[in-house]
């Protein structure tokens, strides 16, 4: 029944998009080809009366997604990180998508906690409030632990939310395949991969044990960061559908009047939030990917507190080095080096002209660096950079888009705290420190040490591996039997040397 269900669900989706005015708006913003426009409008228009009307006070895109329900709201939030897919204007609308939905009954929440933790709520918590916030996937209550008297935040998944998401994700995949079929030019944007990314994010959010794990890992990575704290996960009171964390007490980072009244230095806070994000992205490769004012507070002692770890970004070590070199190249105005990094990383096809690409990058960087310091935007530079790389055939890379989106958000947070902040001057020490630590001779030695350590672990198996490889090669050549002993001897010498190198470098600690 999947096929009919998907078709019915997509007809309702198209009808709602048409009725709310979002259909034409989104197709225009995405610059959809004529064939896709005709098919989409032709399928949706006859059924527009089946669509939800939505809230007419909202812009078209969030109005439609709000009307379609939690899965679509969450999908809209994820798409707000993909301006390369939906266009800058739609992405901007979706960023302000209301994340406040009607809460479900507190009695249901208490029953779910009982079922998940095996104890009545009254035994676990001496106090338990009505919902303080209700989002697309879960809602949050303020409570007090009976055992310790500590105030905590209790996050509870919506009832039956897993089934609703599974149904809609299946329809999303169906729609993505139809788009790729009807619009070959859209394949560069990889719609199916976008849905897969969405499914991965949602899967993590539908199991609060994974969010608890993300919070715990993030806390371990950042425990030595000055002026930054995270609420502690209460593992004994958390499970798949319930998550309990310490209560974050402080002023919202978006309330400048409250921050001023509390005596906090907003300029220092703006610089710190930007440097923290860059440190987490470059140093750890693991960063809070939803770092807006609603997920940040300032403690009475001035520490920045982050919470809500449903969306976390991850970039591997190689990508971090590429990203840092790109930023550093722009800081130094070395556009040829920035171009070479793109080619070396395989981001731009090798058949393109590196000098032409470097000139295009200069056209991106020079106007920005000619601005007044307070108007220089790293987020704008990254946006222009992705426009240029698109023209030179760079395929969409989800991890870089998420990084760019978070950079845009964090820069917005920093500027809201200090409109005169010089983004590049604040970022420079973090980027330069990373470059010195990870792209010099010490980094090369560290990489060799890691490689040798891996080879060292294979030491006991290395002789057999070499012998088997050489035997297979020898048996494929008629003259091989005469050379087999010599090859085995060479293999043993090389293998022994690699093992020795691994042992030696492993001892350099």
Cα separation, 56 vs 20, whole angstroms: 8
pLDDT digits (tens, 9 = 90+) for 313-323: 888 888 888 88
Q: Is the dihedral of CA 193, 195, 198, 202 positive or negative?
A: negative
Is 462 in the same domain as 431? Answer: no
Please check the confidence at residue 155 and state whether its pLDDT lies above 80: yes
Question: Region 126-151: what's the mean pLDDT?
Answer: 92
Is 408 in the same domain as 428? Answer: yes
- Write down the mean pLDDT value for the chain: 78
Model's pTM, two decimal places? Answer: 0.70
- Which domain-ending residue is among 247, 269, 300? 247
CA 135 to each of CA 61, 132, 244, 410, 411: distance values in angstroms, whole numbers, following the listed order: 18, 10, 16, 22, 25
- CB 17 within 8 Å of CB 178: no
Check 290, 308, 355, 372 and give the catalytic one: 290
Q: Which residues contact 483 (CB under 8 A, 6 or more apart)?
A: 474
pLDDT digits (tens, 9 = 90+) for 200-241: 777 778 899 999 999 999 999 999 999 999 999 999 999 999
Is 114 in the same domain as 189? Answer: no
Is 385 in the same domain as 411? Answer: yes
pLDDT reported for residue 43: 63
User: What residue numbers bound the domain in which 227 lies?
Assistant: 105-157+207-247
What is the CATH classification number for the domain harbouring 149?
3.30.200.20
pLDDT digits (tens, 9 = 90+) for 252-281: 888 889 999 999 999 999 999 999 999 999
Q: Which helix H or strand E contains 433, and what residues bound it?
A: helix 423-438
Please check the confidence at residue 20 and state whether its pLDDT lies above 90: no
Cα separation, 94 vs 65, whole angstroms: 9
Cα separation, 307 vs 215, whole angstroms: 8
Is 86 in the same domain as 134? Answer: no
- CB 313 within 8 Å of CB 406: yes
* Coil/strand/helix, residue 494: helix
Of 88-92, 280-284, 306-310, minimum mean pLDDT range: 88-92
- Which domain-ending residue is among 421, 439, 457? 439
Dihedral angle over CA of 409, 414, 59, 135, nearest 10:
70
Cα separation, 139 vs 107, whole angstroms: 13
Is 41 in the same domain as 84? Answer: yes
Is 342 in the same domain as 407? Answer: yes
- CB 22 within 8 Å of CB 58: no
pLDDT digits (tens, 9 = 90+) for 394-447: 665 666 667 777 887 788 788 888 888 887 788 888 888 888 777 666 666 666
Spatial CA neighbour of 329 closest among 362, 300, 354: 362
Is 389 in the same domain as 469? Answer: no
Question: Region 154-160: what's the mean pLDDT?
Answer: 93
Is 117 in the same domain as 80? Answer: no
Please check the confidence at residue 139 and state whether its pLDDT lies above 80: yes
> Residue 234 has which token pair?
């209460």
Q: Which residues pair with 246 in a beta bridge?
A: 152
Question: Region 74-97: what's the mean pLDDT?
Answer: 66
pLDDT reported for residue 26: 67
Question: Region 352-380: what's the mean pLDDT?
Answer: 75
> Binning pLDDT at 50, 70 and 90, where does residue 36 land?
low
Q: Which residues pair with 142 in a beta bridge?
A: 153
Cα separation, 450 vs 446, whole angstroms: 6
Is 365 in the same domain as 412? Answer: yes
Percent of the chain with pLDDT over 90: 27
- Which domain-ending residue is among 413, 439, 465? 439
Is 225 in the same domain as 310? Answer: no
* Total number of domains constituting the chain: 4
pLDDT digits (tens, 9 = 90+) for 180-192: 776 666 666 677 8
Asked if 284 is an active-site residue, the reply is no
Of 134-143, 220-229, 291-300, 459-468, minimum mean pLDDT range: 459-468
> Binning pLDDT at 50, 70 and 90, where does residue 56 land?
confident
Cα separation, 179 vs 194, whole angstroms: 12
Is 358 in the same domain as 473? Answer: no
Please check the confidence at residue 489 and state whether its pLDDT lies above 80: no
pLDDT reported for residue 141: 96
Higher pLDDT, 97 or 108: 108
pLDDT reported for residue 499: 47
Percent of the chain with pLDDT over 70: 69
Cα separation, 230 vs 228, whole angstroms: 7
Measure CA of the first residue to CA of the last residue in the chain; give whole Å.
Answer: 60
Please check the confidence at residue 501 and state whether its pLDDT lies above 50: no
Please check the confidence at residue 486 and state whether its pLDDT lies above 70: no
């Amino acid at each position: 029944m999947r096929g009919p269900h998907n078709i019915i669900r997509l007809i309702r989706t198209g009808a709602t998009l048409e009725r709310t005015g979002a259909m034409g708006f989104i197709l225009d913003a995405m610059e959809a080809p004529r064939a896709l426009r005709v098919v989409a409008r032709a399928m949706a228009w006859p059924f527009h009366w089946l669509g939800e009307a939505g809230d007419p006070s909202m812009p078209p895109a969030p109005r439609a997604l709000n009307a379609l329900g939690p899965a679509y709201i969450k999908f809209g939030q994820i798409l707000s990180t993909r301006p390369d897919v939906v266009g800058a204007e739609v992405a901007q609308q979706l960023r302000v998508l209301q994340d406040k939905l009607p809460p479900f009954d507190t009695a249901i929440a208490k029953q779910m906690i009982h079922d998940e933790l095996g104890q009545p709520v009254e035994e676990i918590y001496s106090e338990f409030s009505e919902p303080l916030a209700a989002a697309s996937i879960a809602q949050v209550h303020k409570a007090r632990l009976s055992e310790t008297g500590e105030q905590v935040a209790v996050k509870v998944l919506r009832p039956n939310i897993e089934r609703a998401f599974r149904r809609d994700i299946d329809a999303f995949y169906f729609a993505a395949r139809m788009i790729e079929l009807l619009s070959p030019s859209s394949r560069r944007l990889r719609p199916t991969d976008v849905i897969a990314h969405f499914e991965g994010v949602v899967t993590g959010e539908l199991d609060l044990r994974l969010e608890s794990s993300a919070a715990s890992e993030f806390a371990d990575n950042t425990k030595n960061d000055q002026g930054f704290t995270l609420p502690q996960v209460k593992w004994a009171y958390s499970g798949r559908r319930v998550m309990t964390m310490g209560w974050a007490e402080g002023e919202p980072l978006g309330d400048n009047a409250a921050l001023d009244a509390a005596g906090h230095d907003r300029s220092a806070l703006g610089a710190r939030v930007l440097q923290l994000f860059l440190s987490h992205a470059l140093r750890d490769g693991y960063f809070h990917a939803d770092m807006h004012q609603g997920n940040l507070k300032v403690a009475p002692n001035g520490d920045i507190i982050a919470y809500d770890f449903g969306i976390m970004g991850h970039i591997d070590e190689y990508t971090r080095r590429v990203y840092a070199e790109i930023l550093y190249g722009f800081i130094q105005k070395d556009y040829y080096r920035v171009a070479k990094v793109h080619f070396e990383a395989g981001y731009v096809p090798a058949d393109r002209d590196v000098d032409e690409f470097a000139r295009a990058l200069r056209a991106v960087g020079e106007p920005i660096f000619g601005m007044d310091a307070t108007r220089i935007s790293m987020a704008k530079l990254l946006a222009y950079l992705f426009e240029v790389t698109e023209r030179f055939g760079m395929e969409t890379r989800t991890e870089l888009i998420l990084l760019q989106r978070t950079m845009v958000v964090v820069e917005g947070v920093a500027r809201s705290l200090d409109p005169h902040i010089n983004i590049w001057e604040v970022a420079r020490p973090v980027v330069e420190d990373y470059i010195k630590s990870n792209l010099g001779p010490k980094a090369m030695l560290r990489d060799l040490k890691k490689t040798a350590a891996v080879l060292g672990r294979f030491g006991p198996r290395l002789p057999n591996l070499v012998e088997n490889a050489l035997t297979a090669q020898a048996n494929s050549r008629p003259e091989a039997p005469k050379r087999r002993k010599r090859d085995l001897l060479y293999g043993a010498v090389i293998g022994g040397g690699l093992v020795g190198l691994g042992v030696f470098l492993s001892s350099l600690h």
